[in-house]
Amino acid sequence: MKRTDYIKWDEYFMGIARLSAERSKDNSTQVGACIVNKDKKIVAVGYNGMPTGCDDDEMPWERTGDDPLETKYPFVCHAELNAILNSNIGNLAGCTLYVTLFPCNECAKAIIQSGIKRIVYYENKYADSESVKASSMLFRKCGVETEAYVPSGKKIILDM
């Protein structure tokens, strides 16, 4: 008889996004992303981090500072952008992005330009921010579907 407690596709892809977030060095926000093509094949993963070549130990990770250059914001590459740029296929047209946090307006532009047509997000805690209002507007105008991940209640514990 077939096993019945296997994880569903949405749990699998959001699980990979959440696992990817565990790679982030950011103390306050860990975001992960997983891009899937129409055949349910994973074509990219990413998490928020400093650009390749920047020493994580030398870069600022603060959220506030008198000088913006002493904060992480000008430097960190978001999970969605990293996933798009790390993709192992040339064309993401028609793909779905699973992401742990609703994309910001900067990532929205990259998502739209890449051809990704659907976004499944785990949480949207900055829904009232200008950035997320802008990204929502861009997605709506450009025909990118966004949907909240529906929690299944399943817990996965991995002994590593």
Candidates 6-14, 56-64, 71-79, 136-144; binding stretch for Zn ion (CB under 5 A): 71-79
Segment near Zn ion (CB under 5 A); pick from 40-48, 52-60, 74-82, 93-101: 74-82
Q: Is 14 in the site for Zn ion (CB under 5 A)?
A: no
- CA 30 – CA 1 distance, rounded (Å): 39
Based on the shown chain and the rule CB under 5 A, indicate whether residue 83 belongs to the binding site for Zn ion.
Answer: no
- Is position 72 an interface residue for Zn ion (rule: CB under 5 A)? no
Both structure tokens of 137: 């507007």
Q: No. of H helices and E strands in the chain? A: 4, 5
Asked if residue 120 binds Zn ion (CB under 5 A), the reply is no
CB of 117 to Zn ion, least distance (A): 18
d(CA 60, CA 19): 24
Residue 111 touching Zn ion (CB under 5 A): no
104 binds Zn ion (CB under 5 A): yes
In angstroms, give the least distance from the CB of 82 to Zn ion: 10
Q: Has 80 been annotated as catalytic?
A: yes
Are 60 and 74 in contact, with CB atoms under 8 Å apart? no
Min separation Cβ 134 and Zn ion, Å: 11
Contact 138, 112 (CB under 8 A): yes
Cα 84 to Cα 44, 58, 79, 129: the distances in Å are: 7, 26, 9, 24
CB 88 within 8 A of CB 65: no
Asked if residue 107 binds Zn ion (CB under 5 A), the reply is: yes
Binding Zn ion (rule: CB under 5 A), the pick from 21, 24, 34, 78 is 78
Task: State the residues that interact with Zn ion by CB under 5 A.
Answer: 78, 104, 107
